[in-house]
Amino acid sequence: MRIKLQEKLIFLLNRLFHRLYGSFAELAAAKTGAEAYFQWEFEQAERSYSAFRPCINLQDKSVLDVGCGLGGKGLFYLQKGARTVTGLDISQTNLRIARSCFAERQPDSSQRPSLVVADAAAMPFADNSFDTAISTYTFEHLANPARVLGEMQRVTKPGDGVFISFPPYFSPWGAHLTDWIRFPWCQVLFSEKALLDVARAIEETEHIHASLPDFARIDLAGAVELPHVNKLTVGGFERVLRASPLEVVSKTYRPVGVEMAGILRPVLSFATKIPLLREVFTSSVVLISRKLG
Ligand SMILES: C[S@@+](CC[C@H](N)C(=O)[O-])C[C@H]1O[C@@H](n2cnc3c(N)ncnc32)[C@H](O)[C@@H]1O
C-alpha cells in the first residue's frame, strides 16, 4: 500500500517537472548520438576545468583522464596545452566511439589523446607515469573509489596534481535517473524500489532508453538497486580521502543552483558548511590534491 502511494506521488511530481531544462535538456539531446555526446563532453569540459582554477595548468603536462567516457574532455585538455593526454576507461564501447570521434575531429593523429581500456582500480601504468591525473563525473560510478584514488596517487608524479570532481549521491540528480524521473532529490524522498518501479513503467510506455545508442543505455530490467551509481556521499568521499596519502590543496563543496541563486547564494553556500545539509545541498565535490615527494 505504502509502495503504491509512493509510486503515485512519483508520477505526480514527474508530471509537475515534466519539462527538461537547462543542461538536462542539452544532455538528453546529446545522448541520442555519439558525435553529439562527444561534443557535449567537449563543451562541458570548460565548466569542469574552471572548477579546478587557479590550481590547474596543463601546459606541457602529461595528463591522465580517468573514466574518460567518449573522450571529449581529453581533446579539450590537449587544447589547453597538455603535451600528451591518455584517456582510460573500462568501457570498450566508449573508447571505440572515442577513437572514431577523434579521427573525425582531429586529422593529425599526433594531436589526439591515446586511449587505454582498463579498470581504474588496477591501472596498467608504472608509478609516477603522469604529471597530472584528472577525473570528472566518474567517482560516483566506480565500484571501488578508494582503490582508484590510490591508483591516481600511484601513477602521478610527486608535486603535481590529482584533480577530481563528482556529484555526491544525495545531490539533486545523484540518482542518475533523470531520463525517467525528472524532479530533484528523488532518491532522498522515495525508496529505491518505488523509483525503479516507476522508471521501468515509464520505460515500458515511452521506450526512452530502448531507443538510445549503446553507450547511453541503462538496462533497468531486474535491477533491485539504482544502476550505474555507487551512492558515494560527501562523507564517504571524505573517509576515502582521509585514508589516502594525497595532500589536499583544496576541497570545495559547490552548492546546488548557485548560478541562479541570486540573493540566496550565501544561504546555499552556508548550507554546504553544515555536515548533514552539505550532503543534499552540494551539487559537486571538487578536490585539488597532490602527491607528496
Ligand atoms: C559519466 S562518464 C564520465 C565521462 C567524462 N569523464 C566526463 O566528465 O564527461 C563515467 C565514465 O567512467 C567509466 N568508468 C566507470 N567505472 C570505471 C572503472 N572502474 N574504470 C575506468 N572507467 C570507469 C565509464 O565507463 C564512463 O565512461
Domain ranges of the chain: 2-23+177-206, 31-171+229-254+284-290
Atom of ligand 1 nearest to the CA of 69: 27
pLDDT per residue rounded down to tens, the chain (293 residues): 456 899 999 999 999 987 766 677 788 889 889 999 999 999 999 999 999 999 999 999 999 999 999 999 999 999 999 999 999 999 999 999 999 999 999 888 888 999 999 999 999 999 999 999 999 999 999 999 999 999 999 999 998 899 999 999 999 999 999 999 999 999 999 999 999 999 999 999 999 999 999 899 999 998 999 999 999 999 999 999 999 999 999 999 999 987 776 788 888 899 999 999 999 999 999 999 999 98
Atom of ligand 1 nearest to the CA of 121: 19
How far does the centroid of ligand 1 lie from the alpha carbon of residue 67, in Å? 3
Q: Do residues 132 and 249 make contact, with C-beta atoms less than 8 angstroms apart?
A: no
How many residues are there in the chain? 293
CA–CA distances in Å: residue 192 to residues 3, 47, 76, 248: 10, 31, 36, 34
How far does the centroid of ligand 1 lie from the alpha carbon of residue 87, in Å? 10
CA–CA distances in Å: residue 257 to residues 63, 153, 189, 197, 231: 30, 32, 19, 29, 21
Q: What is the pLDDT of residue 160?
A: 80
Give the number of other CB atoms < 10 A from CB of residue 21.
9
How far does the centroid of ligand 1 lie from the alpha carbon of residue 217, in Å? 14
Nearest to 65 by CA among 42, 32, 36: 42
Atom of ligand 1 nearest to the CA of 91: 25
How far does the centroid of ligand 1 lie from the alpha carbon of residue 119, in Å? 10
Task: Tell me which residue has its CA closest to atom 14 in ligand 1.
Answer: 67
Judged by DSSP in three states, 237 sits in helix
The C-alpha cell that represents 214 in the structure block: 549503446
For the entire predicted model, the pTM comes to 0.95
How far does the centroid of ligand 1 lie from the alpha carbon of residue 118, in Å? 11
Q: Which residues pair with 162 in a beta bridge?
A: 133, 289
Residue of 31, 47, 93, 141 to mutate, ligand 1, most atoms within 8 A of C-beta: 141
Atom of ligand 1 nearest to the CA of 136: 8
Radius of gyration of the chain (CA): 19
Architecture of domain 31-171+229-254+284-290: 3-Layer(aba) Sandwich (3.40)
Q: Do residues 163 and 56 make contact, with C-beta atoms less than 8 angstroms apart?
A: yes
Ligand 1 binding pocket (C-beta < 6 A) is 41, 67-69, 73, 88-91, 94, 119-121, 136-138, 141-143
**Under 8 Å CB-to-CB from 119, ≥6 apart: which residues?**
90
